[in-house]
Every structure is written in C-alpha cells, then in structure tokens.
Amino acid sequence: MLTGIGIMLLTFVAMEGVAWVMHKYVLHGFLWFLHKSHHTRHNHAFELNDLFFAYYGFLSMLFFIFGTDPIDYRFWIGAGITLYGVAYFLIHDIFIHRRIRLFGKTSNVYLKALNMAHKVHHKEQGKHGSESFGMLWVAPRYFRSAYEIVNKQEQEKRGSVHY
C-alpha cells in the first residue's frame, strides 16, 4: 500500500514535467489548432482545449482498468494522473481562470506567483512567444514579485487600521 501511494505521488510530480513538455511542444506546436481556443476570448463555457482534459481522463481510466485485478502499479499511476487532473481543474480552471467562481483574491504567495506566471503565459495570444508552460512549478522571479505584492498589501492593511 505504501509503495502504491509512493507511485501515485511520484506520478503526480512527474505529470508536471509531462504537462510542461506537452504544453510547450505539443499544444503550442502541432495541436495549436485545439489549444488556441484557450488563448482567445469567448463567451461559451467549453473550449476545444478541454479535449485534453478528456484525453488524460481516458488515459487514467485505462491505467485503472488494467491495474485492478489484482491492484498493481498501473492502478497507482492512474491514481496519480487523476490526482494531477483534480489539481489542474481546481488550480487552473477554477482558481486562475475562474471558470467557476469559488475563490476570491488570495494573499498566499505561492498562489499569487502561480497566477502571475500564468497571466504572463497568456500575455502572448499567439502560438509562439509564450513562457511559463507548467501548472504547479513557478519560476523564482514570480515568487519574488508575489512576495513583494503580498508584503505591500499587508503593510497597507496594518497602516490603514484606525483605533
């Protein structure tokens, strides 16, 4: 069981690398015609880009199916992919893009840095010129900027308190 949980966590971490490579070289490469919907404004709930979510769901399902009788390493790989998918949905779709309005503004430095990095990625709306292709890993420069912003906001809060 512990080995399985280890495989699941290792898969989750590895998925960040898979996501980065897929995003940079596949989505901003030969599958740009699908991913382009994510970089353009629209008024509908779904994007062609959402097909990638279905792809990873299908991949995870296959690992579950072929790893359950008896439960083996494939089951735990499927669980790791699923866990990453849940994190992606919560962080990318709900927190960053606000496709469902659940979260307000945050003073969490990591989440603010993540949001900043993603906004820099979307600054360039074309196929080329984007940066910051991961979902969970954030370059140190965004942490520094986020920390400065949060620190400034906290100082302003303390300074504006009147007794």
The rounded percent of the chain whose pLDDT value lies above 90 is 29
Contacts (Cβ under 8 Å, ≥6 apart) of 64: 74, 75, 78, 79
Tell me the pLDDT tens digit for each residue of 92-121: 777 766 666 666 677 778 888 887 877 777
- Name the packing angle between helices 2-21 and 73-88 (round to 10°): 50
DSSP label of 1: -
Average pLDDT, the chain: 82
Which band of pLDDT confidence, cut at 50, 70 and 90, is reported for residue 125? low
